[in-house]
Chains A and B, each alone.
Chain A
Amino acid sequence: MNLSGYVGGVGVLGPGLNDWPQAAAVLSGKQPYVAAPTVLPIPAMLPPAERRRTGRVVKLALAVALEATSNAAANPARMPSVFSSSGGDGHICHEICQALALAAREVSPTRFSNSVHNVAAGYWSIATGCMSESNVLCAFDASFVAGLLDAMTQITVDRQTVLFVAYDTEYPPPLHAKRPIPDALGVAMVLTPERTARSLACIEVALTEESADRMADPELEALRAAVPAARSLPLMRLLADGVAGRVVLDYLDVSRAAVQVRPCV
């Protein structure tokens, strides 16, 4: 069975990448890349009580998931999802570990609830009312392709539309020195088994031993290498160019993923 399907809508947010139209212009060379700290929007889709409790990882994942589902004109309330991230909320983790290092060991109950790796998927389901399944993964630096493979198996085996979100946020010091992710970056795509009016491209994914493609722009290449979700950038560039082609994305030590892209024009 070929792992193939259609990209129906894309969302992007990262340092110097504000949304998919602007990121597409940068990735296809129509605009210069200007690095700037990632600006995370308040998740207006959440009820106010929940909104106050959300950290950076939830804001990031919800922003790109919302952009992708809007661009795909798809109803998020009926869509299974795959959320893949190389870590949970680094700031919450830091605060819990700091509290546990003190004699009182007072862990905030809200922080503890929000420390789970599936915090973004949980808030996404609350925000959209979606009761479909959500798979929440981590594969360290291989997290983007790990999530893409899982999403592709869902659309090929179960023939259902899937929302795929890959996102990473930074750890504050002192963990930052051990895991130096520079800033928040997320990408999301709605993947469908059949072509729709909104389909950007048909993609086919297979494992390979070839080396991963790099970005020509040194700053974008540095971003690709520094943030696991940014390992997607060569694929995003091809989608932005709107041309047929093939890219190899970084995955495990023994394998990479080759993605064949055919635009829907």
Chain B
Amino acid sequence: MKPMQPLLLAEFTATSCIGTGVAPTLLSLLEQRSGLTHCNFETVTIDTHIGEVSGVDAQRLPSQLRIFDCRNNRLAELALRQDGFIDAVDAAVARWGRRRIGVFIGTSTAGIMQTELAYRARDPVSGALPTAFEYGTTHNSFSVADYIRQRCRIEGPAMAVSSACASSAKVFGAARRMIEAGLIDAALVGGADSLCLTTLYGFHSLQLSSPAPCRPFDVARDGISIGEAAAFALLERLSEKVSGESVLLHGVGESSDAYHMSAPHPEGLGAKRAMQAALNAASLEPGDIDYINLHGTGTPSNDRAESQAVTSIFGPTTPCSSTKGATGHTLGAAGALEAVISALAIRNGLMPGGIQTTRIDPTLTAHYIKENRRAPLRRVLSNSFGFGGTNCSLIFGRAG
């Protein structure tokens, strides 16, 4: 791929089990605090840990948008209200125009929990779902993107990207193309994925979720902890707003494994290809990357494949870690959440050490860090990979 024009990450916000908004998120990272707790979600009886966001159920959507009411859109609403994000979107609308801003939201399951609940309340005779159940504005993958565009009164092109756990990294690629093509000037990008029974029981059935809090890169790692999150950013063309402190999106790299639906390529070939494509798009060399926020799910196969891929490009010295020991694997929201964590890392000169991990697997050659490190960071790479063998790497960096 040819080099891309860098874009300004003008605003960003994130809500996960380690914090509602960026200030508590940063504090949790600084204090190496995890938000994972033993699962007592809804009626779920699996022995596992989850990253549940508090206060989601108490959220209320604006009355004219009640048709969108579901856990996923409540989580999106909670996240949108943090860090003055809605005001920033309003300012972008005033500057660029409603039609010149696009909405690109990643999700894997959107509001499917509404359907799970509706299936428990079927008519005993006809089997019909409850009359009050709405499919399009809750269950459908587009519902969260549609909610956000209506909530923020944005009228440009809109899409949900739903490619499993790479979804909300790949939104940056779709937004980048549309801005560069001149169809829009700015994009509201991000991801929102909430806890539901499909993913909790589904990952359990695949024996991919751990009973303990997940331990990425640990010698005894045995699976993921499912979390939920919503994270958003305003991506804009470069303008006079850019200062030395600004965080830019420098590169997006995407690839497919072409290997298996639910297992990564054993040597991480797809992951390697995505990272290399991101470096090419950013016109950077491997040595220009100061820190890598790994996909690092804590499954034996992901961490092995990712470590190989990282080492094959960056060698054994570039510091890297996974923040999923803190946040859990937030699936379709992970790419956007970790993009925000990468931006916080750059802004605060913080490489967040990977928590929950006690003994790093000696067969993994990537330079995994467990303790926080403070150092000026110019360029950070963030990885997101998903079922179906879909991979996306993002590179963020300082403008100055």
- Chain A residues within 8 Å of B, Cβ to Cβ: 1, 3, 50, 53, 86-88, 93, 96-101, 105-109, 112-119, 121-123, 125-126, 128-140, 142-143, 146, 149-150, 152-154, 156-159, 173-175, 177-179, 207, 252, 254-255
* B45 (CB) vs chain A CBs: closest residue: A105
Residues in B whose Cβ lies below 8 Å from that of A1: 180-182
How many B residues have CB within 8 A of the partner chain? 70
A135 to B162: give the CA distance in the assembly, Å.
8
- A96 & B198 in contact (Cβ 8 Å cutoff): yes
Contact of B1 among A99, A115, A137, A158 (CB under 8 A): A158
A149 to B206: give the CA distance in the assembly, Å.
36
Contact of B177 among A93, A108, A153, A254 (CB under 8 A): A153
Q: A139-B145, A156-B181 given as contacts; is B258 within 8 A of A116 (CB)?
A: no
Q: Which of A130, A150, A159, A207 has the most chain B CB atoms closer than 10 A to its own CB?
A: A150
* A128 (CB) vs chain B CBs: closest residue: B258
Residues in A whose Cβ lies below 8 Å from that of B141: 87-88, 117, 138
Show 9 A/B contacts (Cβ-Cβ < 8 Å), sorted by A. Answer: A109-B262, A116-B388, A117-B108, A122-B389, A134-B254, A135-B163, A138-B159, A138-B162, A157-B181
* A83 (CB) vs chain B CBs: closest residue: B163
Q: Say whether B255 faces chain A, with CB atoms less than 8 Å apart.
A: yes
Residues in A whose Cβ lies below 8 Å from that of B159: 137-139, 146, 150
List 20 additional contacts besides A138-B140, A153-B177, A175-B129; criterion CB under 8 Å: A1-B181, A88-B162, A97-B115, A100-B197, A107-B202, A114-B261, A115-B198, A118-B386, A122-B389, A125-B256, A125-B388, A131-B273, A134-B163, A135-B163, A137-B159, A138-B162, A146-B159, A153-B174, A158-B2, A174-B122
* B128 (CB) vs chain A CBs: closest residue: A174
Contact of A109 among B108, B181, B206, B255 (CB under 8 A): B206
Residues in A whose Cβ lies below 8 Å from that of B204: 107
A122 to B183: give the CA distance in the assembly, Å.
29
Q: A139-B158, A153-B183, A174-B128 given as contacts; is B256 within 8 A of A131 (CB)?
A: yes
Q: Say whether B120 faces chain A, with CB atoms less than 8 Å apart.
A: yes
Q: Say whether B233 faces chain A, with CB atoms less than 8 Å apart.
A: no
Q: A107-B201, A139-B145, A146-B157 given as contacts; is B122 within 8 A of A153 (CB)?
A: no
- Within the complex, the shortest CB–CB distance from B258 to chain A, in Å, comes to 4
Q: Which of B155, B164, B177, B255 has the most chain A CB atoms closer than 10 A to its own CB?
A: B177
- A121 & B390 in contact (Cβ 8 Å cutoff): yes
Q: Say whether B269 faces chain A, with CB atoms less than 8 Å apart.
A: yes
Q: Say whether B173 faces chain A, with CB atoms less than 8 Å apart.
A: yes
- B205 & A126 in contact (Cβ 8 Å cutoff): no
- B177 & A157 in contact (Cβ 8 Å cutoff): yes
Give the 6 A-B residue pairs with the shortest CB-CB distance, closest first.
Answer: A122-B388, A133-B254, A112-B202, A117-B162, A138-B141, A153-B177
- Within the complex, the shortest CB–CB distance from B333 to chain A, in Å, comes to 15
Q: Say whether B353 faces chain A, with CB atoms less than 8 Å apart.
A: no
Q: Say whether B178 faces chain A, with CB atoms less than 8 Å apart.
A: yes
Q: Say whether B136 faces chain A, with CB atoms less than 8 Å apart.
A: yes
Q: Say whether B96 faces chain A, with CB atoms less than 8 Å apart.
A: no
Q: A135-B161, A150-B174 given as contacts; is B136 within 8 A of A179 (CB)?
A: yes
Q: Say whether B85 faces chain A, with CB atoms less than 8 Å apart.
A: no
Contact of B256 among A134, A140, A173 (CB under 8 A): A134
Q: Say whether B119 faces chain A, with CB atoms less than 8 Å apart.
A: yes
Contact of A178 among B127, B129, B197 (CB under 8 A): B129
- In the complex, which residues 245-260 of chain B have their Cβ closer than 8 Å to any Cβ of chain A? 254-260
B165-177 interface bits toward A, Cβ cutoff 8 Å, 1 = contact, 0 = none:
0000010011001
* B155 (CB) vs chain A CBs: closest residue: A254
Residues in B whose Cβ lies below 8 Å from that of A173: 127
Q: A122-B390, A135-B170, A174-B128 given as contacts; is B119 within 8 A of A101 (CB)?
A: yes
A136 to B255: give the CA distance in the assembly, Å.
12
Residues in A whose Cβ lies below 8 Å from that of B202: 96, 107, 109, 112, 115
* B204 (CB) vs chain A CBs: closest residue: A107
Residues in A whose Cβ lies below 8 Å from that of B120: 101
- B174 & A118 in contact (Cβ 8 Å cutoff): no
- Within the complex, the shortest CB–CB distance from A167 to chain B, in Å, comes to 14
- B183 & A3 in contact (Cβ 8 Å cutoff): yes
- A125 & B257 in contact (Cβ 8 Å cutoff): yes
Residues in A whose Cβ lies below 8 Å from that of B146: 140
- A174 & B129 in contact (Cβ 8 Å cutoff): yes
- Within the complex, the shortest CB–CB distance from B331 to chain A, in Å, comes to 10
Q: Which of A99, A126, A159, A173 has the most chain B CB atoms closer than 10 A to its own CB?
A: A126
- Within the complex, the shortest CB–CB distance from A57 to chain B, in Å, comes to 12
Residues in A whose Cβ lies below 8 Å from that of B129: 174-175, 177-178
Contact of B259 among A88, A98, A108, A126 (CB under 8 A): A126
- In the complex, which residues 111-142 of chain B have their Cβ closer than 8 Å to any Cβ of chain A? 112, 115-116, 118-120, 122, 127-129, 133-136, 140-142
* B154 (CB) vs chain A CBs: closest residue: A254
